[in-house]
Each structure stands twice: as structure tokens, then as C-alpha cells.
Amino acid sequence: MTTIKDVAEQAGVSVATVSRVINNEKYVNEDLRQYVLKIVNDMGYQPDGIARGLRTKSTNVISLVIPDINNPFYPEVARGVQSVADEYEYVVILCNTDRVVQREQKFVNILNQQRVEGIIINPSGSTRREMNILDRLSIPVVLISSQDILPDFDIVMVDNKQGVGLAIDHFYDLGHRRIGLVGGAREVSSGEQRYQGYVQSIARYGIPIENELITEGRFDHNGGYECMKRLLTLKNRPTAVFAANDIMAIGAVSAIYEAGLKIPDDISIVGFDDIAYSRMMYPKLTTVSQPKFEMGAIATQMLFERVTGQEIPNPRRKILDHSLVIRDTTKRV
């Protein structure tokens, strides 16, 4: 029986393009449309989504659950999810929890009841108890997370401690020894992991841990701004600052300029995530880059391998690498 993938291979186009042609969607060149339709006809392909749905109880819907839609990190993850979902002709429902565990649990329950075929989730909770609702689901789940506390699920993760280590290594190589932390909320797993990465990396160089150099706030612009203002009140302020994400780093930059100081002449700063704006701001932000698109795409491919019933006996754990992107906000002391 001819499948849509057979048609795509014969035509030399993607499955998504064949799908758009069959469904008479816009943004397909007319010559290409006619070419694909001819191959569809020649190969005798008969799309029958309704019959397939009745036979397999398939809804062709998956969901992506994220904790903060305002953070530019997550749209890049969503793009990776959608790119793979398009290949399988699936729709993606996006749910934003605002890091509220109860809202996350509500969404997951509703999605399960509405027969979505799988969920990709970056959990808001940081404990197994907060995430135990996932254990009760009857559909595949893939986690995008910085912690591995649910061993029964496939997970795509990054090593936050290693990523922070890249930033501290860079500061140390530039001669900085008084390094501050604009940290994210530690009840969030990534906040705790990046705090631990900071402490461990500072200690690795034999630099004393000074509590006055460690601040904590929300993972947003105002959180970074307020943390940086506290650091600037110190009699012996830091010469360099690591911020737990790029949004916090941008808030810290605002506080530094407001104090009449210059970056990187007076204070060097490194962020985390490499969001698009970090390349557009002035000065351009040095940051730890995460493979955001790849995280979404890999998680979705892992999910579809479960959805389509492939034999995968054990939960899989995929760890992706960070890289340091050196731009204009760091300087040798």
C-alpha cells in the first residue's frame, strides 16, 4: 500500500509538502503542486484520514507543555517540535503553565482525556511528587528537562552545571576572580542546577565562595535587574557576573547602565540560552548557547517512536552539549 512517505520520496520533497498539496493549502508553488499531484495519481495514493482515525483511534494531535511562553527560549523549542510533527502530519497543541504546578497538572489531565497521542513537557515541578501525575497517563510522554528524577520516561536534557562551567572558565581565563551570580529561583530545577554549577566551578579554581556575591530572583528581566542592583551596592563589587538566563542578563545590563557603569570595561557579563535578542542588543551578549531547536526536534522524534509502536524496551536519556558564544560583554581585567 502506497504511503505519503512513498510519494514524498518519489517526488523528492518532504512529507509536509505532500500533505500541503493534498490538503490544498496555500504557499505551494503551482508547478510543484501539479507535479506532486501527478505523482500521487500515478502511484495510486489514496489519503483517507477519517477512515484511518476510525480504525486506529488516532487524533493526529500531540501537545507541548512549557513553563514560560514569555521566554524566547521556548518558541525555538516549539519550532523544533513542529518541524518533526509536520513530517508525521500531526498538529501540536501548545500549553503554557507560567510555572504553576497546579495548572500543569490540569493541562495534562485535560490532554489525556481529549486523547492527544503524546505529550512533550518541560515540567514546572522540581520534585517527583509534583510530577507524579505523569506516571498515571496512558499515553507516551517525553521530558525536556535539566533533571533526571523520572527514570521511567524518555528525556532530552542538558547539563546545566557543565554549561555554567564554560562561563566561569571564560571569566577565569580573562583574569576575573570576583565573580557574581545573578541566579534564577532555586525552586525551579534549572535555577538550582545553575547555582550548583556556579558554586562547583568557583570552588574548582580555589576561589572562596562569598554569599554576598550570590543573588536569586525570578527568571525574568526584573529578576535580573533587582539581583544586579543588590550586587552593585557592595563595597567591593564583582568584576564579572554570570546570569542564569539571557533575560536576566538583559535586566542586569539595564541596572549596570543605570548605575553609570560600562560593559565590559567596568563589569563583564555572561548569560545563558543564546536567545535571538542576545545577538541584537548592544553590546552583543556573551552567552552559553543551548541547542533549543534540536531539543524540540529530538524530543518529538523520540515521542513519535513511542506513538507509532516501535519496540523501545527501556527509557532513553539524551544529553545535548552546550557551547560558549563569546561576543562583546566580556573583557580581560
Question: Residue 50: pLDDT band by 50, 70, 90 thresholds?
Answer: very low
Which structural domains are found in the chain, ordered by start? 4-47 (1.10.260.40), 58-158+291-320 (3.40.50.2300), 160-290 (3.40.50.2300)
Does 130 have pLDDT greater than 80? no
Question: Residue 25: pLDDT band by 50, 70, 90 thresholds?
Answer: confident
C-alpha to C-alpha distance for 286 and 278, rounded to whole angstroms: 8
Cell of residue 308, nine digits: 507509532
Question: Residue 224: pLDDT band by 50, 70, 90 thresholds?
Answer: very high
For residue 12, give the 3-state DSSP assignment: coil
Does 49 have pLDDT greater than 80? no
Measure CA 27 to chain center: 28
Question: Residue 52: pLDDT band by 50, 70, 90 thresholds?
Answer: very low
Question: Residue 4: pLDDT band by 50, 70, 90 thresholds?
Answer: confident
Question: Residue 55: pLDDT band by 50, 70, 90 thresholds?
Answer: very low
**Average per-residue pLDDT for the chain:** 90
Question: Residue 308: pLDDT band by 50, 70, 90 thresholds?
Answer: confident
Note if the pTM is more than 0.85. no
C-alpha to C-alpha distance for 134 and 141, rounded to whole angstroms: 8
For residue 154, give the 3-state DSSP assignment: strand
Q: How confident is the model at residue 47, as a pLDDT? A: 66
Closest CA to 90 of 15, 192, 38: 15
Biggest CA–CA distance in the chain, Å, is: 78
Most confident of 40-44, 115-119, 229-233: 229-233
For residue 273, give the 3-state DSSP assignment: strand
Q: How confident is the model at residue 128, as a pLDDT? A: 62
Cell of residue 253, nine digits: 545590563
Q: How confident is the model at residue 99, as a pLDDT? A: 86
Instruction: Give CA angle at 294 (290, 299), nearest 5°.
Output: 115
How much is the average pLDDT of 272-297?
A: 95
Q: How confident is the model at residue 54, as a pLDDT? A: 40
How much is the average pLDDT of 63-90?
A: 94
Cell of residue 234, nine digits: 557592595
Q: How confident is the model at residue 57, as a pLDDT? A: 60
Instruction: Give CA angle at 289 (103, 178), nearest 5°.
Output: 100
Does 329 have pLDDT greater than 80? yes
C-alpha to C-alpha distance for 327 and 278, rounded to whole angstroms: 9
Question: Which residues, in sequence order, are CB contacts of 92 under 8 Å at separation 6+?
Answer: 61, 62, 63, 64, 78, 81, 82, 85
Does 246 have pLDDT greater than 50? yes
